[in-house]
Chains A and B, each alone.
Chain A
Amino acid sequence: MSLVFQSLVLGVLMGGLYALLAAGLTLYFGVMRVVMIAHSAFLVLAAYLAWTFTVHTGLDPMLSLLVTVPLFFVLGVAVQRLLVARLRPATLTMMSVLLTFAVALAVEGALGFVFTGTHRRIPLSYSGARLELFGASVALVKLIAFGLAAVTLVGLHVLLKVTRFGQALRATMQHREAARLLGVDTDRVAGFGFGLGLATAAVGGTALALDSTIYPSLHWHWIGPLMAIIVVGGLGSVAGAAIAALLLGVGQNLLQIPLGTTWAQTFFYAALFVTLILRPQGFFGGRLAQRF
């Protein structure tokens, strides 16, 4: 019983991080219909920046966010403006996958070149600290990571719902042409959408680096589950992605008890295939996904 509860807690904590990262992917898809394969490569890049920051300054890795979040926002805008926007609209979805895949390879190669293949882990004084929660043991670092993800997601939600920019962004996501006719500068909004998406990778990477070793080829490990989450959630739906992330995260952790680690990982893919057969537009998304 306590093991089940423990796994449930772990699953929710992990689902939070998945939700944050999936939110980024959803933004790219929403504004440009782009499946951004390089998202998790940037995640690992952010983790490496956090590691470098802590090793050189001795300060807490979370302070690196002050640098990486704006930096990644700018990088995201640059990726959209300089690369994605140059693709032909007719083949955009397919070609953008290849293009961002190429970016992922280049990022991984560059990380390997600069940081070597050595597995790194941020030395933290509180890495083993824990809190007791109704009989479950919760690691402080996991709680911080979850907190970072939650705060960012709430911030993103407020930004999308309340601000003028958020309205423009949502309008662009729903119908680009219509938004343009209403006077929204959709190109600019798309660029900012990419920037915001990549900024979530910066937060996620730092959260990841708190409680895990990092190495350049780590991003392959994240691509699969994240892709499964956005399809199950419904491409283009931020809320759908968050729900799917939590459900799949919890499901994976619970399945690990009877099935073991390896088979539990296939849960993501099983969910993906089932979704495509039963409901290709995703379980929690809008009508948007149907056409893609």
Chain B
Amino acid sequence: MDIANGLRIGALGAAAALLVAGCFGGRPAESGAGGDGPIRIGVSLPLTGDFSEPGKGVQRGYEAWAKHVNDNGGLLGRQVELTILDDQSNADRVAADYEKLINSDGVDLVFGPFSTRLVIPAAQVARDYGFLFVEPAGAAAEVFNQGFDNLFYAAPAVAQDHYNHLAEAILAMPEATRPKTAAYAAMDDPFAQGTANGLKEKLAKAGVRTVVDEVYPPNTTDFGSIAAKIADSRADVVVGGTQYQDAVNLIVALRQLDYQPKLAAFSTAPTNPEFPKAIGAQTEGILSPTGYTPEADYPSNQEFVEFYTREHGTAPTEDEANAWTTGQVVAAAVDAAGCADPSNECQRKMIDWLHGNEVETVVGPLRWDGAGRPQGAHLIQQYVGGKIRIVLPADAKEAELVYPKPAW
């Protein structure tokens, strides 16, 4: 050995110290304790990796919201400024990101990330620092079972309740035409599975027999066998607890087996603008729960759709709407509390206010229980004549529910 280990290690240690001090040690930005500076809002989103597609939608929604607020005089008379980090669809990163936003970047407020799998680690960090945590995605049951009192889900309903209106409609059908059997296929993901399970429980209780109940891992691309099982069961109803690509693959696989259900419902995928492109003309009659429709006549919604369409040239989808709703909820809390700073006192004021009040949003008026569950249900949409139409509930419908569904 020609040079002592220790010397090298010592030098490395010193170099590391310098690097750490030099690069990480940037002073936290002046936190806007009062003052007229902008209100800084931190967000971490999956902009790359497996959840990047919806993550980007949420980003567009947040950015549109911020621009809209700033065009209209800001919050509490201050401009808002977003700091968006990329968590690479990774739980370790999402926690580190909020740690950075709150401590190093010194943001005044935080917004939630996308996907249930990332919401829980992120909410933990926010809670430990006493921050209000309003999130646009993360509807699965266990998000609300963790004892987070700072968390609010900014959409009409938790995953289990997404199909409530559909369940009611099915049970209200006359005995003769009512479906007797149902097949369920759900991705092994807390959100996707939650939607299918919610409907399954309600239908099973009312006597619609479950003939297939399949759960598949998130990375599944071959749906031949699952489709074979469903086709073999000849179930009247097929329900997919799906995200995007799995619904597309499952539908194609079902068609390849010439399985024709009376009713087909899939979560998430049919609300995606890519969906009709991938499925072609065979979308007719497919149902999906949705938390949002651009046609809704809530006052702020018309403003949102107009503003968003002007900025982007297309109407917003559910991801953008959920992000915008998050912005609206936080803005309402800021206005009510009269403050927007990271102090525990201000954050606590906002949290307490949201627990006791209702907020008008683009998805309708929202209120929450103690664990942050919104107290509503999702709309049910259907492809009717090649267009997405709200068919349930009765008071919001734009078209009649088509049943049984045409062949695909």
Q: How large is the interface on A (under 10, 10 to 19, 20 to 34, 35 or more residues)?
A: 35 or more
The answer to whether B278 touches A128 (Cβ under 8 A) is no
Chain B residues with Cβ under 8 A from A212's Cβ? Answer: 221-222, 249
Which residues in chain B, 217-263, are within 8 Å of chain A measured between CB atoms?
217, 219-222, 224-226, 228-229, 231-232, 244-245, 248-249, 252-253, 255-258
Assess whether B228 is in contact with A117, with CB atoms less than 8 Å apart. Answer: no
CA distance A169 to B225 in the complex (A): 38
A190–B3 alpha-carbon span in the complex (Å): 43
Q: Which residues of B contact A265 (CB under 8 A)?
A: 217
Residues of B72-103 whose CB lies within 8 A of A: 89
Among A58-66, A75-83, A217-225, the stretch that binds chain B is A217-225
A262 / chain B contacts, CB cutoff of 8 Å: 188, 215-217
- Whether A117 contacts B52 by the Cβ 8 Å rule is yes
Chain A hits for B53, CB < 8 A: 116-119
- Does B189 make an interface contact (CB < 8 A)? no
Contact, CB under 8 Å: B255 / A112: no
Taking the closest CB of chain A, its distance from the CB of B97, in whole angstroms, is 18
The answer to whether A257 and B256 touch across the interface, beta carbons within 8 angstroms, is no
**Does A290 reach chain B (CB closer than 8 Å)?**
no
Among B221, B226, B229, B258, contact of A130 (Cβ-Cβ < 8 Å): B258
The answer to whether A112 and B48 touch across the interface, beta carbons within 8 angstroms, is yes
Asked whether A217 lies within 8 Å of B49 as measured between CB atoms, the reply is yes
Contact check, B245 vs A119: say whether CB atoms are below 8 A apart.
Answer: yes
Q: Total contacts A to B, CB within 8 angstroms?
A: 107
Chain B residues within an 8 Å CB radius of A13: 224
A213 and B229 form a contact (CB under 8 A):
no
Cβ of B50 under 8 Å from chain A: yes
Structural contact, A117 and B50, CB atoms closer than 8 A = yes
Chain A residues with Cβ below 8 Å from B244 are 119
Cβ contact of B256, chosen from A119, A139, A264, cutoff 8 A: A139
Per-residue 0/1 for A2-27: is the Cβ within 8 Å of any B Cβ (1 yes, 0 no)?
A: 11001100100110000000000000
Residues 178-218 of B, flagged 1 when their CB comes within 8 A of A and 0 if not, give: 00000000001000000000000000000000000011110
Q: Does B300 contact A (CB under 8 A)?
A: no
Tell me which residues across on chain A come within 8 A of B312, comparing CB atoms.
none
Q: With an 8 A cutoff between CB atoms, is A93 at the interface? A: no
CB B381 to nearest CB in A, in angstroms, measures: 21
Most chain A CB within a 10 A radius of its CB, from B49, B214, B217, B222: B222
Q: Distance (Å) between the CB of B327 and the closest chain A CB?
A: 24
Which residues of A209-237 are within 8 A (CB) of B?
Answer: 211-215, 217-218, 220-221
Q: Are the CB atoms of A142 and B224 closer together than 8 Å? A: yes
* Chain B residues within 8 Å of A214, by CB: 221
Q: Could you tell me if B214 and A260 are in contact, using CB atoms closer than 8 angstroms? A: yes
- Nearest CB to that of B52 among chain A residues? A117
Partner of B221, one of A3, A118, A137, A213: A213
B278 x A123 contact (CB < 8 A):
yes
Q: Within 8 Å CB of A264, what residues of B? A: 225
**B243 nearest in chain A by CB position:** A119
Contact B215 A260 (CB under 8 A): yes
The complex places the Cα of A59 from the Cα of B16 at a distance, in Å, of 55
B52: which A residues are within 8 A, CB to CB?
116-118
| Assembly CA distance A221 to B216 (angstroms) | 13
Contact B256 A130 (CB under 8 A): yes
A117 (CB) vs chain B CBs: closest residue? B52
Neighbouring B residues of A220 by C-beta, 8 Å:
219
- Whether a CB of chain B sits under 8 angstroms from the CB of A253 is yes
A116–B55 Cα gap in the complex (Å)? 12
The verdict on A256 contacting chain B, using a C-beta distance below 8 Å, is: yes
In the assembled complex, the Cα of A217 lies from the Cα of B49 at a distance in Å of 8
Query: Contacts of A121 on B, CB cut-off 8 Å?
Result: 245, 248-249, 278
Known: A10-B224, A116-B52, A121-B278. A3 touches B229 (CB 8 A): yes
A261 in contact with B282 (CB, 8 Å): no
A100 to B322, CA, bound (A): 42
Contact among B226, B258, B408 for A261, CB-based, below 8 A: B226
Q: Which A residues touch B216, using CB under 8 A?
A: 260-262
B385 is an interface residue with CB less than 8 A from chain A: no
Interface CB pairs A-B, < 8 A, 7: A118-B52, A121-B278, A128-B255, A128-B256, A141-B256, A217-B50, A261-B217
20 A-B pairs besides A3-B228, A121-B249 with CB distance below 8 A are A3-B229, A6-B231, A6-B232, A112-B49, A117-B48, A117-B53, A121-B278, A128-B256, A129-B256, A137-B231, A139-B253, A212-B249, A213-B249, A218-B219, A257-B225, A261-B214, A261-B217, A261-B226, A264-B225, A265-B217
